[in-house]
Structure 1
Amino acid sequence: MDINIFVLCRSPRAKISKIKTITELTPASRVAAFSSRGLPEESIIKPDVIAPGVDILASWLPKDNTKRAFEFSSGTSMSTPQVAAIVAMLKTLHPTWSPAMIKSAIMTTASPLDNTGKPIKDYNGDVATHYAIGSGFINPRQAIEPGLVLDYTGNYENCIDDCNYPSIVVDLSGVVQKVVVNRTFTLVSFPPLPKDYLLYHFLKHDIPPELNVDALRYMSFDLEEGQRIVTTSITFSLHDTDQRIFGSLLWKCYAHPGYNVRIPFVVKT
Protein backbone atom coordinates (compact mmCIF):
# COMPACT_ATOMS: atom_id res chain seq x y z
CA MET A 1 0.00 0.00 0.00
CA ASP A 2 1.21 3.51 -0.87
CA ILE A 3 1.78 5.27 2.47
CA ASN A 4 0.68 8.61 1.00
CA ILE A 5 -2.71 7.19 0.10
CA PHE A 6 -2.94 5.75 3.60
CA VAL A 7 -2.35 9.20 5.15
CA LEU A 8 -4.76 11.08 2.86
CA CYS A 9 -7.60 8.60 3.12
CA ARG A 10 -10.15 9.31 5.83
CA SER A 11 -11.03 5.65 6.34
CA PRO A 12 -8.00 3.63 5.29
CA ARG A 13 -8.40 -0.11 5.07
CA ALA A 14 -5.93 -2.90 4.59
CA LYS A 15 -6.30 -6.58 3.90
CA ILE A 16 -4.10 -9.27 5.37
CA SER A 17 -3.77 -12.31 3.16
CA LYS A 18 -3.91 -15.86 4.49
CA ILE A 19 -1.06 -16.81 6.77
CA LYS A 20 1.03 -19.69 5.50
CA THR A 21 3.29 -21.65 7.80
CA ILE A 22 6.37 -23.00 6.09
CA THR A 23 7.61 -26.25 7.60
CA GLU A 24 10.31 -28.82 6.96
CA LEU A 25 12.88 -26.35 5.71
CA THR A 26 16.09 -27.99 4.55
CA PRO A 27 18.77 -28.17 5.62
CA ALA A 28 18.04 -27.93 9.33
CA SER A 29 19.42 -27.83 11.95
CA ARG A 30 22.30 -25.39 11.66
CA VAL A 31 24.39 -23.95 14.48
CA ALA A 32 23.76 -20.26 15.12
CA ALA A 33 26.67 -17.86 15.46
CA PHE A 34 25.66 -17.03 19.05
CA SER A 35 25.55 -20.67 20.15
CA SER A 36 27.79 -21.57 23.09
CA ARG A 37 31.09 -23.25 22.19
CA GLY A 38 33.36 -25.64 24.03
CA LEU A 39 37.07 -25.12 24.62
CA PRO A 40 39.37 -27.43 22.61
CA GLU A 41 42.04 -27.34 25.33
CA GLU A 42 39.70 -28.82 27.94
CA SER A 43 39.49 -32.54 28.69
CA ILE A 44 35.73 -32.69 28.20
CA ILE A 45 33.49 -32.03 25.20
CA LYS A 46 31.09 -29.13 25.58
CA PRO A 47 28.32 -28.38 24.79
CA ASP A 48 26.64 -31.70 25.58
CA VAL A 49 23.89 -31.24 22.96
CA ILE A 50 22.23 -28.53 20.88
CA ALA A 51 18.55 -27.57 20.79
CA PRO A 52 16.29 -25.15 18.88
CA GLY A 53 17.15 -21.55 19.75
CA VAL A 54 16.38 -19.30 16.77
CA ASP A 55 13.05 -17.46 16.38
CA ILE A 56 11.38 -19.33 19.22
CA LEU A 57 7.86 -18.21 20.14
CA ALA A 58 7.98 -17.88 23.92
CA SER A 59 5.89 -16.38 26.71
CA TRP A 60 6.95 -12.84 27.53
CA LEU A 61 6.58 -10.44 30.43
CA PRO A 62 4.86 -7.30 29.12
CA LYS A 63 7.03 -4.22 29.54
CA ASP A 64 6.54 -0.53 28.81
CA ASN A 65 3.33 -0.20 26.82
CA THR A 66 3.66 -3.59 25.16
CA LYS A 67 0.87 -5.95 26.12
CA ARG A 68 1.96 -8.92 24.05
CA ALA A 69 2.16 -12.11 26.08
CA PHE A 70 4.32 -13.87 23.50
CA GLU A 71 7.39 -12.82 21.53
CA PHE A 72 9.78 -14.38 19.06
CA SER A 73 13.28 -14.52 20.48
CA SER A 74 16.63 -16.18 19.80
CA GLY A 75 19.45 -17.29 22.06
CA THR A 76 20.66 -20.08 24.30
CA SER A 77 17.99 -18.91 26.77
CA MET A 78 15.44 -20.22 24.26
CA SER A 79 17.18 -23.60 23.98
CA THR A 80 17.58 -24.25 27.70
CA PRO A 81 13.85 -24.48 28.57
CA GLN A 82 13.32 -27.07 25.86
CA VAL A 83 16.05 -29.30 27.24
CA ALA A 84 14.71 -28.76 30.77
CA ALA A 85 11.28 -29.90 29.57
CA ILE A 86 12.80 -33.07 28.13
CA VAL A 87 14.54 -33.74 31.44
CA ALA A 88 11.23 -33.31 33.29
CA MET A 89 9.50 -35.64 30.84
CA LEU A 90 12.17 -38.34 31.24
CA LYS A 91 12.09 -38.08 35.03
CA THR A 92 8.32 -38.51 34.95
CA LEU A 93 8.53 -41.56 32.69
CA HIS A 94 11.57 -43.03 34.48
CA PRO A 95 11.39 -41.88 38.12
CA THR A 96 14.22 -44.19 39.24
CA TRP A 97 16.75 -42.77 36.78
CA SER A 98 19.55 -40.64 38.19
CA PRO A 99 20.36 -37.21 36.69
CA ALA A 100 23.35 -38.80 34.96
CA MET A 101 21.19 -41.47 33.35
CA ILE A 102 18.80 -38.81 32.08
CA LYS A 103 21.68 -36.79 30.65
CA SER A 104 23.07 -39.94 29.02
CA ALA A 105 19.72 -40.75 27.40
CA ILE A 106 19.58 -37.27 25.89
CA MET A 107 23.20 -37.29 24.71
CA THR A 108 23.50 -40.81 23.30
CA THR A 109 20.32 -40.44 21.23
CA ALA A 110 21.13 -36.98 19.84
CA SER A 111 21.90 -36.77 16.12
CA PRO A 112 24.94 -35.16 14.43
CA LEU A 113 23.01 -35.07 11.13
CA ASP A 114 20.57 -32.51 9.75
CA ASN A 115 17.21 -33.35 8.17
CA THR A 116 18.89 -34.13 4.83
CA GLY A 117 21.07 -36.83 6.40
CA LYS A 118 24.26 -34.77 6.16
CA PRO A 119 26.50 -33.54 9.01
CA ILE A 120 25.15 -30.47 10.80
CA LYS A 121 26.89 -27.31 9.63
CA ASP A 122 28.12 -24.34 11.59
CA TYR A 123 26.96 -20.78 10.92
CA ASN A 124 29.83 -20.25 8.43
CA GLY A 125 28.93 -23.27 6.31
CA ASP A 126 31.66 -25.56 7.63
CA VAL A 127 30.82 -28.92 9.16
CA ALA A 128 30.24 -28.32 12.86
CA THR A 129 32.70 -30.02 15.22
CA HIS A 130 31.94 -31.59 18.60
CA TYR A 131 32.88 -28.27 20.21
CA ALA A 132 29.88 -26.70 18.46
CA ILE A 133 27.23 -29.46 18.67
CA GLY A 134 28.44 -31.88 21.35
CA SER A 135 26.60 -35.15 20.81
CA GLY A 136 24.25 -33.51 18.33
CA PHE A 137 20.69 -32.25 18.00
CA ILE A 138 18.27 -33.45 20.68
CA ASN A 139 15.75 -36.20 19.90
CA PRO A 140 13.27 -36.38 22.81
CA ARG A 141 11.25 -39.22 21.32
CA GLN A 142 14.34 -41.40 21.04
CA ALA A 143 15.59 -40.38 24.50
CA ILE A 144 12.50 -41.97 26.06
CA GLU A 145 13.79 -45.41 25.04
CA PRO A 146 17.59 -45.08 24.76
CA GLY A 147 18.35 -48.78 25.18
CA LEU A 148 21.51 -48.22 27.22
CA VAL A 149 22.57 -45.40 29.52
CA LEU A 150 25.78 -44.44 31.29
CA ASP A 151 25.42 -43.63 34.98
CA TYR A 152 28.05 -41.73 36.97
CA THR A 153 30.79 -43.87 38.49
CA GLY A 154 33.88 -43.02 40.48
CA ASN A 155 34.51 -39.81 42.38
CA TYR A 156 32.76 -36.57 41.47
CA GLU A 157 35.98 -34.69 42.24
CA ASN A 158 37.60 -36.60 39.39
CA CYS A 159 34.48 -36.37 37.27
CA ILE A 160 36.10 -35.51 33.96
CA ASP A 161 38.47 -38.48 34.03
CA ASP A 162 36.47 -40.99 36.02
CA CYS A 163 32.72 -40.47 35.92
CA ASN A 164 31.60 -42.60 32.97
CA TYR A 165 30.69 -39.55 30.90
CA PRO A 166 28.83 -40.19 27.59
CA SER A 167 31.58 -38.50 25.57
CA ILE A 168 35.34 -39.08 25.43
CA VAL A 169 38.44 -36.90 25.08
CA VAL A 170 41.79 -38.66 24.58
CA ASP A 171 45.15 -36.90 24.69
CA LEU A 172 47.77 -38.50 22.42
CA SER A 173 49.76 -35.33 21.90
CA GLY A 174 52.81 -36.47 23.88
CA VAL A 175 54.87 -39.64 23.82
CA VAL A 176 51.83 -41.74 24.71
CA GLN A 177 50.56 -43.53 21.61
CA LYS A 178 47.83 -45.61 23.21
CA VAL A 179 45.10 -44.85 25.75
CA VAL A 180 42.50 -47.20 27.22
CA VAL A 181 39.14 -45.77 28.32
CA ASN A 182 36.46 -47.68 30.21
CA ARG A 183 32.73 -47.10 29.90
CA THR A 184 29.98 -48.87 31.84
CA PHE A 185 26.58 -49.33 30.21
CA THR A 186 23.31 -50.06 31.99
CA LEU A 187 20.47 -51.75 30.13
CA VAL A 188 17.24 -49.81 30.70
CA SER A 189 15.03 -50.80 27.74
CA PHE A 190 13.58 -54.27 27.40
CA PRO A 191 11.94 -54.94 24.02
CA PRO A 192 10.01 -58.21 23.67
CA LEU A 193 12.45 -60.74 22.25
CA PRO A 194 12.28 -64.50 21.68
CA LYS A 195 15.71 -64.86 23.33
CA ASP A 196 16.78 -64.09 26.87
CA TYR A 197 19.56 -61.70 26.01
CA LEU A 198 20.28 -58.54 24.12
CA LEU A 199 23.34 -58.13 21.95
CA TYR A 200 24.84 -54.75 21.13
CA HIS A 201 27.28 -54.63 18.22
CA PHE A 202 30.15 -52.14 18.35
CA LEU A 203 30.63 -50.20 15.10
CA LYS A 204 33.44 -47.84 14.15
CA HIS A 205 31.63 -44.75 12.94
CA ASP A 206 33.28 -41.91 11.07
CA ILE A 207 36.80 -42.81 12.23
CA PRO A 208 39.77 -41.74 10.03
CA PRO A 209 42.35 -44.37 8.99
CA GLU A 210 45.21 -42.88 11.03
CA LEU A 211 43.33 -43.69 14.26
CA ASN A 212 42.76 -47.23 15.47
CA VAL A 213 39.93 -47.87 17.92
CA ASP A 214 39.38 -51.29 19.46
CA ALA A 215 36.55 -52.35 21.73
CA LEU A 216 34.64 -55.46 22.69
CA ARG A 217 32.85 -56.42 19.51
CA TYR A 218 29.65 -57.43 21.25
CA MET A 219 28.06 -56.45 24.55
CA SER A 220 25.72 -59.18 25.72
CA PHE A 221 23.05 -58.68 28.40
CA ASP A 222 21.69 -61.92 29.85
CA LEU A 223 18.14 -61.02 30.85
CA GLU A 224 17.43 -64.43 32.36
CA GLU A 225 20.36 -64.03 34.76
CA GLY A 226 19.42 -60.44 35.52
CA GLN A 227 22.55 -59.00 33.92
CA ARG A 228 21.90 -55.29 33.37
CA ILE A 229 25.39 -53.75 33.50
CA VAL A 230 28.41 -54.29 31.22
CA THR A 231 31.77 -52.50 31.30
CA THR A 232 33.81 -52.34 28.10
CA SER A 233 37.33 -51.07 27.43
CA ILE A 234 37.98 -48.86 24.42
CA THR A 235 41.56 -48.56 23.16
CA PHE A 236 42.69 -45.57 21.12
CA SER A 237 46.01 -45.83 19.26
CA LEU A 238 47.38 -43.35 16.77
CA HIS A 239 49.54 -43.43 13.66
CA ASP A 240 51.38 -40.45 12.20
CA THR A 241 49.19 -37.37 12.24
CA ASP A 242 49.16 -33.92 13.77
CA GLN A 243 45.45 -33.34 13.25
CA ARG A 244 42.84 -33.17 16.00
CA ILE A 245 40.51 -36.08 15.30
CA PHE A 246 36.73 -36.03 15.74
CA GLY A 247 34.61 -39.15 15.59
CA SER A 248 32.03 -41.21 17.40
CA LEU A 249 31.51 -44.73 18.67
CA LEU A 250 28.26 -46.54 17.96
CA TRP A 251 26.64 -49.50 19.65
CA LYS A 252 23.72 -50.89 17.68
CA CYS A 253 21.06 -53.37 18.76
CA TYR A 254 20.05 -55.36 15.67
CA ALA A 255 17.14 -57.04 17.44
CA HIS A 256 15.63 -53.59 17.98
CA PRO A 257 16.77 -51.15 15.22
CA GLY A 258 15.67 -48.13 17.25
CA TYR A 259 18.31 -48.70 19.92
CA ASN A 260 21.48 -46.94 18.79
CA VAL A 261 23.88 -45.66 21.44
CA ARG A 262 26.40 -43.13 20.13
CA ILE A 263 29.30 -41.55 22.04
CA PRO A 264 31.32 -38.73 20.43
CA PHE A 265 35.06 -38.56 20.98
CA VAL A 266 37.94 -36.17 20.36
CA VAL A 267 41.57 -37.24 20.07
CA LYS A 268 44.14 -34.52 20.75
CA THR A 269 47.37 -34.94 18.80
Structure 2
Amino acid sequence: MHSRGLLSIGNDTAVTPAGKEAPKFNVLSGTSMACPHVSGIAATVKSQNPTWSPSAIRSAIMTTATRTNNLKTPITTDSSSIATPYDYGAGEVTVTGPLHPGLVYETDTIDYLSYLCYYGFDTSKLKTIARTAPIGFACPKDSKADYISNIDYPSIAISKFIGKESRKVTNVAGDGEVVFTAIVDTPRGLSVKVIPDKLHFSMNNQKLSYQMVFSSTTSVPKEDMFGSLTWSNGKYKVRSPVVVSV
Protein backbone atom coordinates (compact mmCIF):
# COMPACT_ATOMS: atom_id res chain seq x y z
CA MET A 1 0.00 0.00 0.00
CA HIS A 2 1.06 3.52 -0.63
CA SER A 3 0.46 6.75 1.24
CA ARG A 4 1.59 10.31 0.97
CA GLY A 5 1.52 13.01 3.59
CA LEU A 6 2.69 16.35 4.85
CA LEU A 7 5.57 16.30 7.28
CA SER A 8 6.31 19.28 9.49
CA ILE A 9 9.97 20.21 9.31
CA GLY A 10 12.14 22.70 11.12
CA ASN A 11 13.79 25.58 9.33
CA ASP A 12 17.20 24.03 9.93
CA THR A 13 16.36 20.99 7.76
CA ALA A 14 14.46 22.72 4.98
CA VAL A 15 16.08 23.18 1.59
CA THR A 16 15.42 26.86 0.99
CA PRO A 17 16.04 28.64 -2.34
CA ALA A 18 18.11 31.81 -2.09
CA GLY A 19 15.99 34.78 -1.09
CA LYS A 20 13.04 32.63 -0.01
CA GLU A 21 11.65 31.92 3.46
CA ALA A 22 12.09 28.36 4.71
CA PRO A 23 8.92 26.25 4.23
CA LYS A 24 7.06 24.88 7.25
CA PHE A 25 5.95 21.69 5.50
CA ASN A 26 7.35 19.31 2.91
CA VAL A 27 5.69 16.57 0.86
CA LEU A 28 7.27 13.16 1.38
CA SER A 29 6.38 9.73 -0.01
CA GLY A 30 7.44 6.28 1.12
CA THR A 31 7.12 3.73 3.91
CA SER A 32 7.97 6.27 6.63
CA MET A 33 4.93 8.29 5.61
CA ALA A 34 2.74 5.27 4.81
CA CYS A 35 3.16 3.63 8.23
CA PRO A 36 1.50 6.30 10.44
CA HIS A 37 -1.24 6.99 7.90
CA VAL A 38 -2.15 3.33 7.42
CA SER A 39 -1.93 2.69 11.17
CA GLY A 40 -4.40 5.50 11.79
CA ILE A 41 -6.79 4.13 9.18
CA ALA A 42 -6.50 0.61 10.62
CA ALA A 43 -7.30 1.93 14.10
CA THR A 44 -10.34 3.79 12.76
CA VAL A 45 -11.63 0.69 10.97
CA LYS A 46 -11.14 -1.40 14.13
CA SER A 47 -13.03 1.15 16.23
CA GLN A 48 -16.00 0.94 13.85
CA ASN A 49 -15.78 -2.84 13.42
CA PRO A 50 -14.40 -4.21 16.71
CA THR A 51 -14.95 -7.88 15.78
CA TRP A 52 -12.94 -7.70 12.54
CA SER A 53 -9.66 -9.62 12.39
CA PRO A 54 -6.38 -7.96 11.35
CA SER A 55 -6.63 -9.65 7.95
CA ALA A 56 -10.15 -8.31 7.39
CA ILE A 57 -8.94 -4.79 8.20
CA ARG A 58 -5.97 -5.20 5.85
CA SER A 59 -8.33 -6.41 3.13
CA ALA A 60 -10.65 -3.42 3.62
CA ILE A 61 -7.73 -1.03 3.24
CA MET A 62 -6.26 -2.78 0.19
CA THR A 63 -9.45 -3.39 -1.81
CA THR A 64 -10.62 0.24 -1.48
CA ALA A 65 -7.26 1.78 -2.42
CA THR A 66 -7.11 3.94 -5.55
CA ARG A 67 -4.72 3.97 -8.50
CA THR A 68 -5.34 7.61 -9.37
CA ASN A 69 -4.01 10.82 -7.85
CA ASN A 70 -5.90 13.95 -6.80
CA LEU A 71 -6.03 15.03 -10.47
CA LYS A 72 -7.86 11.78 -11.34
CA THR A 73 -4.93 10.64 -13.47
CA PRO A 74 -2.87 7.45 -12.97
CA ILE A 75 -0.31 7.48 -10.16
CA THR A 76 3.19 7.87 -11.56
CA THR A 77 6.68 7.01 -10.36
CA ASP A 78 9.41 9.53 -9.55
CA SER A 79 10.51 9.25 -13.19
CA SER A 80 6.95 10.14 -14.35
CA SER A 81 6.20 6.69 -15.79
CA ILE A 82 2.84 5.05 -15.04
CA ALA A 83 3.14 3.20 -11.72
CA THR A 84 2.32 -0.50 -11.35
CA PRO A 85 1.54 -2.75 -8.36
CA TYR A 86 5.30 -3.18 -8.02
CA ASP A 87 5.40 0.52 -7.11
CA TYR A 88 2.23 1.06 -5.07
CA GLY A 89 0.96 -2.41 -4.10
CA ALA A 90 -2.84 -2.25 -4.06
CA GLY A 91 -2.83 1.52 -4.55
CA GLU A 92 -3.04 4.70 -2.51
CA VAL A 93 -5.12 4.26 0.63
CA THR A 94 -8.33 6.20 1.24
CA VAL A 95 -9.68 7.37 4.57
CA THR A 96 -13.37 6.48 4.32
CA GLY A 97 -13.34 3.55 1.87
CA PRO A 98 -12.03 0.92 4.34
CA LEU A 99 -14.92 1.66 6.71
CA HIS A 100 -17.36 0.16 4.17
CA PRO A 101 -15.48 -2.28 1.90
CA GLY A 102 -18.46 -4.47 0.93
CA LEU A 103 -16.44 -7.71 0.93
CA VAL A 104 -13.32 -8.78 2.81
CA TYR A 105 -10.72 -11.51 2.35
CA GLU A 106 -9.77 -13.19 5.63
CA THR A 107 -6.46 -14.99 5.97
CA ASP A 108 -6.87 -17.36 8.92
CA THR A 109 -4.46 -19.13 11.29
CA ILE A 110 -4.36 -22.32 9.22
CA ASP A 111 -3.37 -20.32 6.13
CA TYR A 112 -0.38 -18.85 7.93
CA LEU A 113 0.67 -22.14 9.52
CA SER A 114 0.45 -23.94 6.18
CA TYR A 115 2.52 -21.18 4.60
CA LEU A 116 5.24 -21.80 7.20
CA CYS A 117 5.04 -25.57 6.55
CA TYR A 118 6.09 -25.02 2.97
CA TYR A 119 9.15 -23.08 4.11
CA GLY A 120 10.50 -25.90 6.23
CA PHE A 121 9.00 -25.31 9.68
CA ASP A 122 8.19 -28.59 11.43
CA THR A 123 5.37 -29.22 13.92
CA SER A 124 7.43 -28.42 17.03
CA LYS A 125 8.55 -25.07 15.63
CA LEU A 126 4.99 -24.22 14.60
CA LYS A 127 3.76 -24.90 18.14
CA THR A 128 6.41 -22.50 19.46
CA ILE A 129 5.44 -19.80 16.99
CA ALA A 130 1.66 -20.23 17.25
CA ARG A 131 0.61 -21.25 20.73
CA THR A 132 -3.03 -21.13 19.65
CA ALA A 133 -2.57 -23.50 16.67
CA PRO A 134 -5.65 -25.65 16.05
CA ILE A 135 -5.54 -29.04 17.78
CA GLY A 136 -4.48 -31.77 15.38
CA PHE A 137 -3.13 -29.39 12.74
CA ALA A 138 -0.93 -31.07 10.13
CA CYS A 139 0.90 -29.59 7.16
CA PRO A 140 -1.09 -29.88 3.90
CA LYS A 141 -0.03 -32.42 1.30
CA ASP A 142 -0.86 -30.37 -1.81
CA SER A 143 1.95 -28.61 -3.65
CA LYS A 144 3.66 -25.55 -2.26
CA ALA A 145 2.92 -23.36 -5.28
CA ASP A 146 -0.77 -24.31 -5.41
CA TYR A 147 -1.43 -23.73 -1.73
CA ILE A 148 0.47 -20.47 -1.31
CA SER A 149 -1.13 -18.91 -4.37
CA ASN A 150 -4.62 -19.79 -3.10
CA ILE A 151 -4.39 -18.27 0.36
CA ASP A 152 -7.30 -15.86 0.95
CA TYR A 153 -5.27 -12.72 0.37
CA PRO A 154 -6.70 -9.59 -1.34
CA SER A 155 -4.24 -9.63 -4.25
CA ILE A 156 -3.63 -12.20 -6.98
CA ALA A 157 -0.27 -13.25 -8.42
CA ILE A 158 0.43 -15.98 -10.93
CA SER A 159 3.44 -17.16 -12.92
CA LYS A 160 3.93 -19.11 -16.14
CA PHE A 161 0.78 -17.45 -17.60
CA ILE A 162 -1.40 -20.50 -17.18
CA GLY A 163 -3.05 -21.53 -13.94
CA LYS A 164 -5.86 -20.87 -11.52
CA GLU A 165 -6.39 -19.03 -8.27
CA SER A 166 -9.07 -19.73 -5.66
CA ARG A 167 -10.35 -17.23 -3.13
CA LYS A 168 -13.06 -16.89 -0.49
CA VAL A 169 -14.72 -13.58 0.41
CA THR A 170 -16.99 -12.54 3.28
CA ASN A 171 -19.99 -10.29 2.79
CA VAL A 172 -19.78 -7.30 5.15
CA ALA A 173 -22.08 -5.04 3.13
CA GLY A 174 -24.77 -5.27 5.81
CA ASP A 175 -27.44 -5.23 3.12
CA GLY A 176 -28.85 -8.73 3.59
CA GLU A 177 -29.32 -10.29 0.17
CA VAL A 178 -26.84 -8.82 -2.31
CA VAL A 179 -25.23 -9.81 -5.62
CA PHE A 180 -21.66 -8.91 -6.62
CA THR A 181 -20.54 -9.16 -10.26
CA ALA A 182 -16.96 -9.77 -11.39
CA ILE A 183 -15.29 -7.10 -13.52
CA VAL A 184 -11.89 -8.11 -14.91
CA ASP A 185 -9.20 -5.80 -16.26
CA THR A 186 -7.46 -8.56 -18.18
CA PRO A 187 -3.67 -8.43 -18.60
CA ARG A 188 -2.65 -8.12 -22.24
CA GLY A 189 -2.19 -11.45 -24.01
CA LEU A 190 -4.18 -13.47 -21.49
CA SER A 191 -7.65 -14.86 -21.15
CA VAL A 192 -9.16 -14.75 -17.66
CA LYS A 193 -12.35 -16.50 -16.61
CA VAL A 194 -14.00 -16.01 -13.21
CA ILE A 195 -16.08 -18.93 -11.92
CA PRO A 196 -18.72 -18.03 -10.89
CA ASP A 197 -18.83 -14.50 -12.29
CA LYS A 198 -21.60 -13.53 -9.84
CA LEU A 199 -21.64 -14.02 -6.08
CA HIS A 200 -25.14 -14.23 -4.56
CA PHE A 201 -25.08 -13.52 -0.82
CA SER A 202 -28.24 -14.15 1.18
CA MET A 203 -27.03 -12.68 4.47
CA ASN A 204 -24.33 -10.58 6.06
CA ASN A 205 -21.07 -12.35 7.07
CA GLN A 206 -21.75 -15.15 4.59
CA LYS A 207 -18.66 -16.56 2.87
CA LEU A 208 -18.54 -17.56 -0.81
CA SER A 209 -15.71 -18.89 -2.99
CA TYR A 210 -14.67 -18.19 -6.56
CA GLN A 211 -11.90 -19.19 -8.93
CA MET A 212 -9.92 -17.32 -11.58
CA VAL A 213 -8.62 -19.37 -14.51
CA PHE A 214 -5.77 -17.92 -16.59
CA SER A 215 -4.73 -19.01 -20.08
CA SER A 216 -2.45 -17.51 -22.71
CA THR A 217 -3.87 -16.15 -25.98
CA THR A 218 -0.54 -15.23 -27.57
CA SER A 219 3.10 -16.25 -27.52
CA VAL A 220 4.94 -16.06 -24.20
CA PRO A 221 5.16 -12.37 -23.16
CA LYS A 222 8.56 -10.86 -22.42
CA GLU A 223 7.56 -8.77 -19.45
CA ASP A 224 5.32 -8.97 -16.38
CA MET A 225 1.69 -8.00 -16.89
CA PHE A 226 -0.83 -6.27 -14.65
CA GLY A 227 -4.59 -6.19 -14.31
CA SER A 228 -7.28 -6.36 -11.66
CA LEU A 229 -10.42 -8.12 -10.48
CA THR A 230 -13.23 -6.00 -9.06
CA TRP A 231 -16.37 -7.34 -7.42
CA SER A 232 -19.11 -4.72 -7.67
CA ASN A 233 -22.78 -4.43 -6.84
CA GLY A 234 -23.07 -0.79 -7.89
CA LYS A 235 -22.61 0.50 -4.34
CA TYR A 236 -19.34 -1.23 -3.48
CA LYS A 237 -16.26 -1.86 -5.61
CA VAL A 238 -13.90 -4.47 -4.14
CA ARG A 239 -10.71 -4.39 -6.20
CA SER A 240 -7.76 -6.80 -6.11
CA PRO A 241 -4.60 -6.19 -8.16
CA VAL A 242 -3.57 -9.00 -10.50
CA VAL A 243 0.08 -9.59 -11.43
CA VAL A 244 1.22 -12.17 -13.97
CA SER A 245 4.97 -12.75 -13.77
CA VAL A 246 7.31 -14.09 -16.43
Using the size of structure 1 for normalisation, the TM-score is: 0.67
Deviations 1:141-199 (A, max 9, x none): 01100000000144314174343111111011xxxx521111110011214xxxx5200
Q: How does 1:188-267 map to 2 (within 5 A)?
A: 188-191=172-175, 197-205=177-185, 207-215=186-194, 216-223=196-203, 228-239=206-217, 240-242=219-221, 243-254=223-234, 257=235, 259-267=236-244
Matched, 1:169 2:124: no
Aligned to 1:52: 4
Could you tell me the TM-score, scaled by structure 2's length? 0.73
Aligned AA for 1:140? Answer: V
Determine the C-alpha separation between the residues in 1 that align with 2:237 and 2:25: 37
The within-5 A match list for 1:109-188 is: 109-153=64-108, 154-157=110-113, 158=115, 160-172=148-160, 178-188=162-172
CA distance in structure 1 between the partners assigned to 2:230 and 2:27 by the alignment: 35
Q: Given the alignment, which residue of 84, 90, 94 partners 2:39?
A: 84
Work out whether residues 106 and 139 of structure 1, in 8 Å CA contact, stay in contact via their aligned partners in 2. yes
Counterpart secondary structure, 1:116: coil
Compute the displacement of 1:73 (Å): 7.2
1:91-137: CA deviation from partner (whole Å, max 9, x where unpaired): 11101000000000000000011223322111101001111101101
Secondary structure of 1:156's counterpart equals helix
Separation (CA, whole Å) in 2 of partners of 1:166 and 1:201: 16
Match of 1:105 in 2: 60
Which of the two has greater helix per residue?
Answer: 2
Contact 1:90–1:144, Cα closer than 8 Å, also in 2: yes
Please say if residues 2 and 31 of structure 2, whose CA atoms lie closer than 8 Å, have aligned partners that are also in contact: no
What code does the residue aligned with 1:220 have? Answer: H
- In the alignment, structure 1 segments of 5+ residues that lack a partner are 1-48, 61-69
Contact preservation (8 Å) 1:57, 1:73: no
Structure 2 partner of 1:20 = none
Are the aligned partners of 1:50 and 1:134 in contact in 2 as well (CA < 8 Å)?
yes
Report how far residue 263 of structure 1 moved.
Answer: 0.3
What is the Cα deviation at residue 89 of structure 1? 0.7
Provide the C-alpha distance between the structure 2 equivalents of 1:118 and 1:167, rounded to a whole number of angstroms: 22
Q: Percent identity of the aligned residues? A: 31
The change in CA–CA distance for 1:81 and 1:127 in structure 2 (over 3 A counts) is: same
| Match in the other structure for 1:3 | none
Partner of 1:136, secondary structure, is coil
8 Å CA contact 1:104–1:150 kept in 2: the answer is yes
Question: Structure 2 CA distance, aligned partners of 1:163 and 1:139?
Answer: 25
Q: 1:141 to 1:77 in 2, by over 3 A?
A: same
RMSD: 2.3
Q: For 1:227 and 1:190, locate their aligned partners in 2 and report how far apart those are by CA, in whole Å.
A: 8
